[in-house]
Structure 1
Amino acid sequence: MDVQPKNPLPGFVALGAALLALAACGTGGLGAERPCTAIGSSPGLSVSVKAPDAARVASASLRVCWDGTCREPRIELRPSSTAVPMGCSGEGPDAVCGASVSPDGGKTGFAQVQDLPKRPVQVTLTLRDAQGRTLVDRRVDVTPKATFPNGEHCGEGGAQAALTVAHGTVTTR
């Protein structure tokens, strides 16, 4: 029985081509200053309820309408927080700075809305207390904007808009 050794060259060529392709994925294109990552952003609406209103709010619901159809995405409000600076050890570019997170008395949530357009939509936000009583029921028009989670040079993510409730008033961004 005559056994010939297998030629390793095709395997090395395939491995080299794969490594070259993988390295090219991180370049972000010729002349790019920063690479683009695979991070994305979901289309949808964020809701922020500021203190003291948030203390009474137990649940939220949304109704989002455009082109004659409406969607009612799920949204869950959670306690929000704010960053509190803890100072820096030194000055200059090598200084180490810290911060801690502290509850701010508010609540926040995000509702994914597939196919949310970058044109005006009608949103009805309803906030209820623990007994199911309506605290806020407002319809607002908002225009979702494109998001760029990696910067504009990497392409856009999902369209998003934000609603803020403060002192019973709903504002948009």
Structure 2
Amino acid sequence: MRKLAVIVALTATVFLASSCRAETVCPAIAQASVVALTVAPEYVSSVKSIHLKACQDGRCMGADLDLVPGSTPIDQGCEPGSYGGDGVCSATSSPDGTLTGMLMLESLTASLIEVTVTGTGAAGQPLPVRALAFTPRVAYPYGEQCGSFITAGVVLDANGLRQAA
């Protein structure tokens, strides 16, 4: 009888310990399947238009990009919170001299992606064809239990294409 009481006590302890785990709450943030392109500041004056083609997992998508001025975030700090820690935080953006554009994809995976950039220069001449194959970046900003975020970005300058940092 004593052994049975010990087994019941251990089972109850395991059950209670496993049911008291803190639940993981993941943010409900959707991720866009895009390849982002940034034209470096020193190359902006050489570019009139850009066409981006991306191929991944046997599927290709291509489009002329709508290029818009790029910016960089500037942290404006946080106010102290009522109960310790940070309260309201804010940031602003400042132009950084780049141009940016995005190509929407049906899906984006962590497998190799091949990107080709063509376009027109400021004087109407064709830009050199630039190509790059790279593996998109995979990050777990909210922990592995919340899933991964996959990003694919490239930077175009006079020397060609490189993967964005």
Return the TM-score normalized by structure 2: 0.66
Deviation track 1:80-119 (CA, whole Å, cap 9, x = no partner) reads 11234567889x9558776542211111122111133321
Q: What residue identity is the alignment partner of 2:113?
A: V
User: Does the CA contact (< 8 Å) of 1:48 and 1:107 recur in 2?
Assistant: yes
Q: How does 1:65-104 map to 2 (within 5 A)?
A: 65-66=55-56, 68-84=58-74, 93=85, 99-104=91-96
Deviation track 1:37-66 (CA, whole Å, cap 9, x = no partner) reads 321102221111111211332221112224
Q: How does 1:5-154 map to 2 (within 5 A)?
A: 31-33=22-24, 35-66=25-56, 68-84=58-74, 93=85, 99-146=91-138, 148=140, 150-154=142-146
Q: Partner residue of 2:147?
A: 155
Residues 96 and 66 of structure 1, relative CA distance in 2, 3 Å threshold: closer
Unaligned runs of 5+ in 1: 1-29
CA distance in 2, matches of 1:69, 1:95: 46
Residues 74 and 149 of structure 1, relative CA distance in 2, 3 Å threshold: farther
Residues 55 and 121 of structure 1, relative CA distance in 2, 3 Å threshold: same
User: What count of residue pairs does the alignment treat as equivalent?
Assistant: 141
Identity %: 31
CA distance in 1, matches of 2:67, 2:23: 39
Residues 88 and 64 of structure 1, relative CA distance in 2, 3 Å threshold: closer
1:170 to 158, 161, 164: 161
Deviation at 1:67, TM superposition (A): 5.1
CA distance in 2, matches of 1:88, 1:67: 43
Q: Secondary structure at the match of 1:55?
A: helix
CA distance in 2, matches of 1:128, 1:120: 27
CA distance in 2, matches of 1:114, 1:149: 23
Q: Secondary structure at the match of 1:115?
A: coil
Residues 141 and 36 of structure 1, relative CA distance in 2, 3 Å threshold: same
Q: What residue identity is the alignment partner of 2:118?
A: T
Return the TM-score normalized by structure 1: 0.63
Q: What residue identity is the alignment partner of 1:58?
A: K
User: Does the CA contact (< 8 Å) of 1:73 and 1:113 recur in 2?
Assistant: no
